[in-house]
A and B are shown apart, each in its own frame.
Chain A
Amino acid sequence: MVDSRIGRVELRIPNRPEWVAVARLTISAVANRLPFSVEDIEDLKLAIAEACTTVIQAGEGEGTIDIVCETDLNELRIHVRDTRPGSADVFQERSEASGIEGLGVFLIQALMDEVRHTADPRAGTELVMIKRVGS
């Protein structure tokens, strides 16, 4: 039997601010499958909100944010993808922007154990963040 902690959840939300709460709630429910502390879960919610906000602020035009959560025995991997075609690496762009708007990515890095972002002209920008239990 597959361990009850292992699973994969996919979520697609409109890239509008009012949908960020749905992502936060989903992440907290998924994270609760693993023995994360409440503080860890709050950090994960903050991180997903920052990731979504970064995507929303960076882009123009309607689109979706695709979120994939993969839970493993003791880690949670969250993929956040900006699906707008041809989008450059919004996370890279934002982190280079001066001023406070660009801080989201650094805040995520401060909260997660591992963060990386990639840009693919067809698939869009993707941010992957990993949080391990008890780290």
Chain B
Amino acid sequence: MSASPGEERWDRRRTRDAFSRLAAARDVDARAHERVRDELVVAHLNLVRYLAVKFANRGEALEDLIQVGTLGLIKAIDRFDAERGVEFTTYATPTIVGEIKRYFRDKGWAVKVPRRLQELNLAVNRAIEKLAVELGHSPTVAELAQQLGASEEEILEAQELGQAYNLLSLDTEVSGDGDKGAQTLADYIGKHDPQLLNLEDRANLEKAFDVLTRRERIILFLRFYESVSQTEIAKRLNVSQMHVSRLQQKALEKLRTALLER
């Protein structure tokens, strides 16, 4: 494998030579030490790049990985002891990888990826429908990958694993009380409480009642809360049924306007 342009080729002899110059300059010639150190960093940048690329599919920018990997490289150069007879690349690889992995951990990567997979899973399902219509046949994995800008492997994995992170049956028993009325997961599934959903409406309606006159409020209360007929209400208020009907309609109109204004 040849070095990329701009990066110097390195070989074992040159590396060994550089490390002995580094050791010689340490604590003696600070500027020479720094120069050799820089030389070693530059010479091994392609090692960092090689390793960083291996982690590039995990949702972080390659440039960032190269940057933290280079920090690992510098640490490795500073700690390397040529006397121990280990090749520098052997020594540096775990240090660089460790630095890259630490970067992922610090970024909370472990939390992010399942979501990526699940998002991809949803996207795959949508793309299958879309492509099936466009192509007139059930799409291949390659076609899905192209459509979604993902690799074929990612598509397969999203399909297989994205939907199956810890799938459990609803009938799985969660409280092991033996035969005595064991609880299943299904028993713990919440549902909407209709009373709770109405709470807001009730509060709004209560406020809206302020716009009504006393008589209008009585009519609506009797009509809708007590289910009294208009004729009966007319009798109680000593007015005609037609009048009750008109008042009721007017009251409802006022309520509607008041509620819409909120």
Contacts and interface: CB of A to CB of B under 8 A. Distances in A.
A27 to B, nearest CB: 11
A100 B114 CA distance: 32
Which size bracket describes the interface of A in this complex?
20 to 34
A9 interface: no
Interface in B100-142: 101, 104-105, 109-110, 113-114, 117
Interface in B1-42: 1, 11-12
Interface string A30-63: 0010000111001100100010000000000000
Contacts of A98: 11-12
A103 interface: yes
20 contacts: A21-B152, A25-B153, A32-B164, A39-B101, A39-B110, A39-B113, A42-B113, A43-B101, A46-B54, A98-B11, A98-B12, A100-B50, A100-B89, A103-B51, A103-B89, A106-B90, A106-B93, A106-B94, A107-B97, A109-B93
A99 B89 CA distance: 8
B94 A39 contact: no
Contacts, number: 62
Nearest to A99: B1
A42 B101 CA distance: 11
A116 B205 CA distance: 74
Given A28-B157, A100-B47, A100-B50, A39 B109 contact: yes
A110 B157 contact: no
Interface of B: 1, 11-12, 46-47, 50-51, 54-55, 58, 89-90, 93-94, 97-98, 101, 104-105, 109-110, 113-114, 117, 152-153, 156-157, 160-161, 164
The dominant DSSP class at the A interface is: helix
Nearest to A98: B12
A102 B92 CA distance: 13
A25 B94 contact: no
A94 interface: no
Interface in A84-125: 95, 98-103, 106-107, 109-111
The dominant DSSP class at the B interface is: helix
Contact of B46 (A50, A100, A101): A100
A24 B1 CA distance: 24
A103 B47 contact: yes
B89 A39 contact: no
B212 to A, nearest CB: 60
A29 B89 contact: no
B97 A110 contact: yes
Contacts of B157: 25, 28
Contacts of A100: 1, 46-47, 50, 89
A71 B153 CA distance: 23
A42 B97 contact: no
Contacts of A106: 89-90, 93-94
**Which 8 interchain pairs have the tightest Cβ spacing?**
A110-B94, A110-B97, A106-B93, A38-B113, A21-B153, A39-B110, A100-B1, A100-B50
Contacts of B117: 38
A103 B52 CA distance: 13
B93 A42 contact: no
B151 to A, nearest CB: 8
B11 A107 contact: no
Contact of A42 (B11, B47, B58): B58
Nearest to A95: B90
A93 to B, nearest CB: 14
A84 B84 CA distance: 35
B156 A25 contact: yes
B98 A110 contact: yes
